[in-house]
Amino acid sequence: MMEDKLLLIPGPTNLSPRVRQVMAKPQLPHVGSEFYGMFKETVALARYVFRNEKGVQYVFTGSGTIGMESSVVSLVSHGDKTLTLMTGYFGHRMFMLNQVHGAQAGSIDFTEGKAADPDSLRNELRKNKYDVVFMTHIDTSSSVVNPVKELVDECNKAGVLSVVDSVCSVGGVPLDFDALGADIVFTASQKALAAAPGAVILAASQRAIEHMEKRKAPIESYYMNLLRWKPIMDDPRMYLATPATQVITALREAMLELKEEGLENRWARHRKLGEAARSTVEGWGQKFVAEEGHRADTVTSFWVAKQNAGDIQGILEKEHGIMVARGLYEERDKMLRIGHFGILSVETLRGALGTMGSVMKDLGSVPRDVEVTASDKKR
């Protein structure tokens, strides 16, 4: 029997007992009436989570990258001019997806740890004409939170469509799709919603849908064509592709739990989680990757001066059953990332951070004179 680990990675998160039970139920066929009712409720819950009353709400099978790529391929025709605000690894992925799909892809590359700045966007939109702007709400690689409302406002003033990758945000930090005014916002099931990986949850404005309907060149994808998925949201029995029914039932249960907690209470709990992580990491004397004022409540990234991120991660997992993440690619040894979202309580996080602090102290990554309160509960 596999033992439960405490997942403090930036997704997937630990699942609640209720979500786990739902995933173990007998197979639910997607063509039956039971799944139909359940799916409609899932879409309604997704509207609640996104605060989306005006736009089209989607829930379909795929990882967050399918959310990214379906936004690009559905909105962008070959030769369209797009601008990606790059504030970390996932901004860069969005830029690459624009290139892959034939856009004249431009970018503003903000220095690592810096948030995208609305003035730079405004200046760029004055200088050059773009069709779509892409941005990341919270870049999970750097933990930077971007000022999405100001950025989207700049796009709207310039009459440019905007897409927000909120994979690391929705359900964890305030987001109101209708008030934001963006054209597409999406997330994935395994992050702050605390469901299993495998579902894209996406909101599209009426303007985005009109743009897709009016575009001259057809959307160059079968599966990632958001126009094809639209009628399925009203009736999933109209077959397009077999949905991951367990993942969707788990997502419904996780969003029911979220609704029981209340969206605003959920945001407030994540604020406390963020504050607990930041004050602890600061107490350890570590350097945050994200600049002050733009640090996320869902994930905290910091530089490990001794470049022994792998050792810290390994001991935490093997000896304490706590999983944290390292930086991506060339930052693997230099950076640690703590995911703190989903169903996690502030008490559990504090206990685990105490353990992490003492491991880091033993390995010489936290100064000897820093006091860390290790959790006495060995996981």
Ligand X SMILES: Cc1ncc(COP(=O)(O)O)c(C=O)c1O
First to last CA, the chain: 15
Q: By CB under 6 A, tell whether 71 contacts ligand X.
A: no
At residue 136's C-alpha, the angle toward residues 55 and 83, to 5°, is 90
Q: Is 63 in the site for ligand X (CB under 6 A)?
A: yes
* Rounded Cα–Cα distance for residues 335 and 328 (Å): 8
Whether 328 contacts 13, CB under 8 Å = no
Neighbouring C-alpha atoms within 13 Å toward the C-beta of 160? 27
Among 39, 58, 60, 90, binds ligand X (CB under 6 A): 90
Site string for ligand X, 173-202 (x = CB under 6 A): ---------------x--------------
Which residue, 182, 178, 151, 162, is CA-closest to 49? Answer: 178
Q: How far apart are CB 266 and ligand X at their closest, in Å? A: 18
Residue 323 contacts ligand X per CB under 6 A: no
Q: How far apart are CA 158 and CA 100, in angstroms?
A: 26
Q: Does 11 bind ligand X (CB under 6 A)?
A: yes
Told to check if 124 binds ligand X by CB under 6 A, we report no
Nearer to ligand X, 294 or 320 (CB): 294
Instruction: Give the number of residues in contact with ligand X, rule: CB under 6 A.
Output: 13
- Of 76 and 125, the one with the shorter C-beta distance to ligand X is 76
Nearer to ligand X by C-beta: 64 or 351? 64
**Closer by beta carbon to ligand X, 301 or else 375:** 301
Q: Which helix (H) or strand (E) holds 201?
A: strand 199-204
Binding of residue 69 to ligand X (CB under 6 A): no
* Helical spans, DSSP H, in 235-373: 245-261, 263-283, 309-320, 346-362
Decide: is 165 part of the binding site for ligand X (CB under 6 A): yes
Instruction: Using CB under 6 A, list all residues that contact ligand X.
Output: 11, 63-65, 68, 90, 136, 139-140, 165, 167-168, 188
